[in-house]
Amino acid sequence: MFQLKKVQRLPIDIKHAWDFFSSPANLAVITPDEMGFVVKTALPERMYAGMLIEYTVRPMWNIPVTWVTEITHVEAGTYFVDEQRVGPYAIWHHQHFFKEIPGGVEMTDIVDYQLPLAPFGNIIHSPIIRPKLEHIFNYRWNKLIELFGAL
């Protein structure tokens, strides 16, 4: 099992942060264009526990992949969790935490993931998969600064 953890501070209040991140439509806003991210599900205004979202993504070599995530836990203004139900990973468990701090909000992403096709999946982790995930989360980091500023 691998883990990716990112912490970012933004100069917005927790309500503003929660409103943005709890809207499933905003995931497309913070995903790199080259991922070919297309939502296939009709999206409600706000996420809820038990919600399933189907996407098509092109994570590598422009090959389309179906990805279905379930929002498994939601505590408004504090955290939510999404887990892959169908997609490129053997396991994908993504926790999103929000904490009010002086001057803004601190957001923490913790992704625990396992690659399919062991041991081959583990062999390609360092040279291919991890850099791709870092790229996606770095894009998100920069996009959020563009949208909300830096703290």
Q: What pLDDT score was predicted for residue 119?
A: 85
* CA dist list (Å): 60 to 1, 34, 64, 132: 21, 9, 8, 9
Q: What pLDDT score was predicted for residue 64?
A: 94
Q: What pLDDT score was predicted for residue 59?
A: 85
Domains (range + CATH), the chain: 2-148 (3.30.530.20)
Of all residues in the chain, what percent carry a pLDDT higher than 90?
Answer: 91
Q: Return the structure tokens found at 83.
A: 């887990």
State pTM to two decimals. 0.94
Q: What pLDDT score was predicted for residue 118?
A: 82
How confident is the model over 32-46, as pLDDT tens digits? 999 999 999 999 999
Handedness of CA 119, 124, 125, 129 (dihedral sign): negative
Give me the residues of the chain with pLDDT under 50, please. Answer: none
